Amino acid sequence: MLLGHELLRNAELTAARVEDVRAVPSWDLNIDDMFHVALRVCSAIDEGFESVVVTHGTDTMEETAWLTDLLLGPERRASSRVVFTGSMRFSDATDSDGPANLRLAFERALDFVAGGPGVQIAFAGQVHAARWAHKIDALELNAFSSHGRPQSSGNLPSTTGIIDKQVTMITANSIVRSEIPKGLHGLVVRGTGAGHVPSTYFQPLDELSKSGVAVVIASRVRDVQRAVRPDGGILWAGDLTPEKAVIALMVGIGATSGNSDITSWWSELLEGSIR
C-alpha cells in the first residue's frame, strides 16, 4: 500500500509511506483479507493521509475496491482520494504496465480538484469508479472497463464499518440450480438476463425473504438497472454484479437491523447510483 500526504509539490511526493498489508495472490483473497485492506485504507485516512494508493492483483481488485468504497463514508470520501491499481504484466517483462499504471494512480490520488469521487481504479490510461469497474480481459493490458459510466460511484448509504459474513451467492439458471443454504442472513441469487430465475425458486425465495433473510436478485449481464424489480420483499441488484451485490449486502446488513432496515438501505444504494 502506498500512502501519500498533502499535494504534489515541485513534482515530488511529500511524506509518503509504503506498507505491505496482504502479500497474497488476489485470486486467493477471501472476504476477511478484503475487509482488512479496506479497514487499513480507512484508518490511514483517519490518521491524516489525504491520498491512498493501493496496489492489488487484478483478479479481485474490483471487489476489494468496492468494499473499500462502501466503508469509506461521506467524510472520508470528501477529504481524501483512494485509488487502486495493479498490472497485467510482470515487472521484468518488456511490456510491463505496472509503472505507467502506478504513475496514473498517483496522479489521480493527488488530484484534489474534483470533490469526493470515492474509490477509483486507475488502469491502462483510464480511471474507473469502483462501482462500475469490471475486469473484462485476462490477457490484454486494458483489462478493465466501466462501460462508459462516470468516474464516481455516486452517493452511497451510511455504514458502520461492520460487515455480516453470513451472506452467500447461489446460481439459479437452466444449467446450474444451486441449493439454498441454511442459516443465512443474506442471499444473492445470480440469475440470467434481467435477473430471471427458474420458477422453482419463486416460493422458497419468497419464504426466505418473509422469514427475515435479505434476498437480492442479481443478473449475470450488465446494464440491467431498468428492469422491473421483483415483487414483494425481494431486492434487486440493479447495476451491481452478483459479486458486488454480495459485498454490498454484507455491508448493508452490518449497518442495519431487520429486513425493513436493509430494504431502505438497499433502496438508497440503488438511488444513489449515477446513471
Domain count, the chain: 2
Rounded CA-CA distance 107/112 in Å is 10
Structure confidence at residue 11 (pLDDT) = 39
Position 275 pLDDT exceeds 70: no
Whether residue 158 lies inside any domain: the answer is no
Same-domain pairing of 141 and 171:
no
Q: Is residue 157 part of a domain?
A: no
Domain boundary at 114, 145, 176, which?
145
Q: How many angstroms separate the Cα of 233 from the Cα of each of 172, 173, 229?
A: 19, 21, 10
Do 206 and 81 have their domain in common?
no
Answer yes or no: do 140 and 178 share one domain: no
Range of 199's domain? 167-271
Flag whether pLDDT at 161 surpasses 80: yes
Q: Are residues 200 and 136 in the same domain?
A: no
Rounded Cα–Cα distance for residues 65 and 118 (Å): 10
| Residues 18 and 140 occupy one common structural domain | yes
Residue 9 pLDDT exceeds 50: no
Which domain CATH number covers 21? 3.40.50.1170
Enter the C-alpha cell of residue 169. Answer: 451467492
**Could you tell me the CATH number of the domain that includes residue 206?**
3.40.50.40
- In tens, the pLDDT along 177-223 reads 899 999 999 999 999 887 889 999 999 999 999 999 999 999 888 65
Task: Determine phi and psi for 170, rounding to 5 degrees.
Answer: -125, 155
Q: Provide the β-strand partners of residue 161.
A: none
Is the domain of 16 the same as that of 83? yes
What is the structure's pLDDT at 231? 54
| Residue 3: pLDDT over 50 | no
Tell whether the model's pLDDT for residue 253 goes beyond 80. Answer: yes
